[in-house]
Amino acid sequence: MQNIKAEIGLGTSDLQGDIAFFTKKLGFRMDAIYPADDPRVVTLSGFGLKMQLDADVVPGAGTVRLVCDDPVLIADGQTQLSSPGGTVVDIVPSDPPLVIPAPTHEFVVRRMTDKAAWVIGRAGMQYRDLIPDRLGGSIIASHIRIPDGGPVPDMVHYHSVGFQLIYCYKGWVDLVYEGQGEPFRLHAGNCVIQPPEIRHRVLYASDNIEVIEIGVPAEHITTIDHSMELPTADFTPDRAFDGQVFVHHTSDQASWEPHRIPGMKSKDTTINTNTQGVADVRVVRAVDRACPKVSHDADILFSFVLEGHMTLAADGQDQSTLKAGDAFVVPPDMAALYTDLSQDLEILEVALPGAFATKVVD
């Protein structure tokens, strides 16, 4: 007999206000939030009731949600019904499969000077979207900041993702992860990957902390784990979560080596190895003032300028002068040229999958 739980679904015109109302005033607790960068859906529970607040649903239109192991075994396979009196009943899986859309390839340049809005997301963090169209929902790249340092109002949680990277751009942040020992400080220039569903918590941040976060797919569920306390008693650094092993890369532990693009060098974060080829993450520096024109065959190749400046010229696109804080995506098979590279140029490069080919274009 399968496990079935009932929830109430409600629309809301003020999700943040309702979260505060139900949690602080009435004593409900938050169980899940989605998506983290600009929440629209939150699940709350308390007093024997579980409900989902949805900013995309008209307020006042209530729904009963039956959450179960296999929705097709209920109501003759129907997954949405209406009662004779007009109540909508949705039958949904308790553990929905992770769907990663195929990338919609496009050339993207995102500058700090674009004045993109900083949106308040999960735990009060401020998010700036680095890929506005998110390549068809296949990836989200966020520039995240916390202006005022101190304790972060976070809870033990996990993300239903295919890949997730946190790169500390400025400042530092204290983190703790399931099975990874005591809390540690992630300094600027270092990064972690958060394997699928690893429990973790953000504890404390420096003033003006900034990180770059990459998530696949773009929209994924963040679930609160009220039962786990961190750090855990067990220390299992080699444990695989859906085939991926936790990585805490520190830049001083890696050496510079020739990069895939002639005229540049890079540091390997070991993420390609520890994700079994899901993604490759490198910090890249200029060796020469210019590089040859190249193309690649990666599904996704995202770059963020950490320091310095450069000029990007890609076939069929306007030439762009890029500075620290700017980001760009060059789609597969598009020839691109990096020139006017400053001596202090440093780029964060994220590729999916981790193994791909680069070709010098004549």
Whether residue 235 sits in one domain with residue 183: yes
Whether residue 278 sits in one domain with residue 205: no
Tens-digit pLDDT profile for residues 210-219: 999 999 999 9
Sign of the CA dihedral with 332 first, then 337, 342, and 343 last: positive
Residue stretches of the chain with pLDDT short of 50: none
Report how far residue 127's alpha carbon sits from residue 135's, in angstroms, rounded to the nearest whole number.
18
pTM: 0.88
For residue 10, how far is the Cα from the chain centroid?
27
**255 in Cβ contact with 265 (< 8 Å):** no
**Residue 100 within any structural domain of the chain:** no
Report how far residue 179's alpha carbon sits from residue 116's, in angstroms, rounded to the nearest whole number.
37
Cis peptide before 353 (omega within 30 of 0): yes
**343 in Cβ contact with 308 (< 8 Å):** yes
Phi and psi, residue 56, nearest 5°: -90, 0
**27 in Cβ contact with 46 (< 8 Å):** yes
Identify the domain boundary among 252, 283, 314. Answer: 252
Q: CA end-to-end span of the chain, whole Å? A: 64
What CATH number is associated with residue 89? 3.10.180.10
Number of domains the chain contains: 3
Whether residue 178 sits in one domain with residue 240: yes
Q: How much is the pLDDT for 85?
A: 66
Pull the structure tokens for residue 207. 């003033």
Q: How much is the pLDDT for 282?
A: 98
Distances in Å between the alpha carbon of 356 and those of 93, 207, 350, 353? 35, 38, 12, 7
Range of the domain at 66: 4-93
Whether residue 168 sits in one domain with residue 152: yes
**Residue 268 within any structural domain of the chain:** yes
Q: Which residues contact 197 (CB under 8 A, 6 or more apart)?
A: 158, 159, 160, 241, 242
Q: How much is the pLDDT for 25?
A: 83
Q: Other C-beta atoms within 10 Å of 61: how many?
A: 13
Identify the domain boundary among 223, 252, 281. Answer: 252
Angle subtended at Cα 153 by Cα 188 and Cα 197, rounded to the nearest 5 degrees: 75
Q: How much is the pLDDT for 1?
A: 66
- Give the 3-state secondary structure of residue 164: strand
Whether residue 248 sits in one domain with residue 121: yes
Report how far residue 294's alpha carbon sits from residue 358's, in angstroms, rounded to the nearest whole number.
7
Pull the structure tokens for residue 319. 């030439």
- Give the 3-state secondary structure of residue 265: strand
Whether residue 288 sits in one domain with residue 248: no
Tens-digit pLDDT profile for residues 134-176: 999 999 999 999 888 899 989 999 999 999 999 999 999 999 9
What CATH number is associated with residue 193? 2.60.120.10
